[in-house]
Structures are given as C-alpha cells and as structure tokens.
Amino acid sequence: MTPLQRYIAEEIATDHLDGLMSRREALRRLGLLGLSTAAATAVIAACSEREQTTTATTENTTDTAGPPTTETQPPSAEPPGMQTALPTAAVTWAGPTGELQGAWAEAPDARGAVLVIHENKGLTDHIRSVAGRFAGIGYSALAIDLLSGQGGTGQFADPADATAALSKIPPEEFVANLRSGIDELSRRAPDRKLAAVGFCMGGGLVWRLLAAGTPQLAAAVPFYGPTPDDPDFAGSKDVAVLAFYGALDQRVNATEPVARAALEKAGLVHELVTEPGANHAFFNDTGDRYDPTAAADAWRRIQEWFTAHLA
C-alpha cells in the first residue's frame, strides 16, 4: 500500500473500532482500496492493538490535558462561521493535465484568499460551506475537487468509492493540481496574500505542499493531517503554519513531533494546537466526531492567525 492508502485504511479500521461502522462495512471499504480479506483483517487487528495501548497511556495522563469544555457552546448551535457564510459557485479552470473543478466563494473587498483542501470523501457540501465561511469573514476561497480527473466528486454515488479513487492518486498529481489551484486562486484574487487550509487527508496534503516548496503561500492551516516521512519545509520559507490536532486522535498525533521538528528546522513561524477532548475530524459538523467547542476555538484561532499573517 502507498502511504495514503495505509492512512485511509487505518482511518476506516479506526472508524469501525470506534463503533462508527460495522465490521462488514469496514471490510467492504477496505476491499475497495484493494485489500484482501486477510489484509483488511490484519489492519483492523493492528489498529485495535494500537488503540488499546494508547487508551492505557491516555488513562495515565488524563489529568495533564484538563477536562473537555464542551458546555461552552451548545451542540445545537450553528457551526462556527455559518451565520455569515456566503454562497459558492461551481468553477473550472485548466489544470496541468486537464480541467479542474472547484467551488468559489468571493468575499467583497477580500483581505486575502484561501485554497480549501477537502477530506478523503472529495468536494462535499460541508467543504463548500467552509469556503463560504471564509468568504463570510473577508477571505475569498476556492475549494478544489481533487477528483476532477475522475469526473468530479459528483460522479461517485457511494462516498466509499470516492475515497477509494482518491487513494489511487499519486502524491505528485495531488501537488501539481493543488499548485494549479493556488495559481487560479491568485488569478481570482490578485494582489492578495494566499493561504491553504486542509482537513484530514487535505491536512496531510497541506504538509505535502510545504514539503514540495510553496513560497506563494503566506499561511497554511492543516487540520489533523498526517505529516509525510522526513519532510523538508525549507522551500516554503515565510509561510506561517497553524496546525490543529485532536487530543484523542492518537493515530495522527503520532506524526506531530515530525511536523514540529521540520518546522523548527526550516525556521517557519508556527503554532501547533491540540484541542482537549477532541478527536479526529472534530471540525466536520456533518460527522460523528464533530466537537462544537473545539471547532469554535479553531475558528477563532484561524481568524487571529489570518489577521496576523494574511490580511
């Protein structure tokens, strides 16, 4: 398996172990990635063993993190930024190997512009809403569809098929398309500083953009994204990085020290935030792990970061 396929396979296994899907559904989705039943079973077993180990470790260290503060925002409250979100429009542009698709939200008198990179389910309504939320606070946003080469996310009736298709795309193609997205963003928001924000798989791709050298960016915000092996961020100098992790997301958190060391070595301005009591995908208000308190805190921190580094 490629690193991306392994990451997605472990995410599926973890979802099953956390009770978010049945074993049958997990095996089906792992099969779509190309894993045999035996290989899929081995992935689930390995993740189960790791969860048991990290649970024991967490139980011995819970006092240091402090109690979660989920009572500060009612679960029924609107997701952060939705009150002022602007609509998005479907757009296309010429990519390196063909037409790319996306959702564009233009902010009046934009203070800056943001490339939004989706999770492993493709360009969903949730990600479109995130682009609209950025526009609503003064930053024009372009949410790219990394399944454009396969006809776009809308071609996949089953989200699991979209995930499987994404897992087969090589990192080099992702980076090339993302760089094209940055160029398109610059064209649509001329003379504005640019940022990249990604979630889950998209968070990992933000790290890959930094490792590939992307000096066009002024800011980067990866949400719970796995750090690539031995990254070198020297080619992305002057990019200010704000990264988010969930305290319960031990699988991705294990890569945080690698990110921190690479950021320090490259001399990039950075802040790595671990939200207490939150899990992977805590910002996705359409998912089972949504944490309104962590999402609200992250939204506040992003706005402060953009004011300092993007406006």
> How far apart are alpha carbons 162 and 140 in whole angstroms?
27
Instruction: Write out the CATH class of domain 89-310.
Output: alpha beta
Which sequence spans correspond to the domains of the chain? 3-53, 89-310
Q: What angle do CA 6, 182, 310 make, to 5 degrees?
A: 105
Instruction: State the pLDDT at residue 54.
Output: 54
Section 40-62 average pLDDT: 70
Whether the pLDDT of residue 184 is over 60: the answer is yes
SS3 42: helix
Spatial distance between the Cα atoms of 265 and 208, rounded to a whole number of angstroms: 16
pLDDT tens for 221-272 read: 999 999 999 999 999 999 999 999 999 999 999 999 999 999 999 999 999 9
Instruction: State both tokens at 34.
Output: 């190309």
Q: What percent of the chain has pLDDT over 70?
A: 92
- pLDDT tier for residue 274 given thresholds of 50, 70 and 90: very high
Average pLDDT across the chain, whole number:
92
Instruction: Evaluate if residue 60 carries a pLDDT over 90.
Output: no
Phi-psi region of 38 (alpha: psi -120 to 50; beta: other; left: phi over 0): alpha
d(CA 291, CA 276): 10
Give 53's pLDDT tier (boundaries 50, 70, 90). Answer: low
Q: Which two tokens stand for residue 210?
A: 């930094």
The reported pLDDT for the residue numbered 25 is: 97
Going by DSSP bridges, is the β-strand pair 112-117/139-145 parallel, antiparallel, or unpaired? parallel
Which residue from 158, 157, 200 is spatially nearest to 287, judged by alpha carbons? 200
Q: What is the pLDDT averaged over residues 289-298?
A: 98
Which carries the bigger pLDDT value, residue 205 or residue 51? 205
Both tokens of residue 157?
Answer: 């009736």
DSSP assignment letter at 176:
H
Which pTM was predicted? 0.93
Residue 91: in which H helix or E strand, if any?
strand 89-94
Angle, CA 196 vertex, CA 222 and CA 263 arms, to 5°: 50
Q: Could you tell me whether strands 99-105 and 139-145 are parallel, antiparallel, or unpaired per DSSP bridges? A: antiparallel
What is the Cα–Cα distance from 82 to 95, expressed in whole angstroms? Answer: 30
Res 66: pLDDT = 36
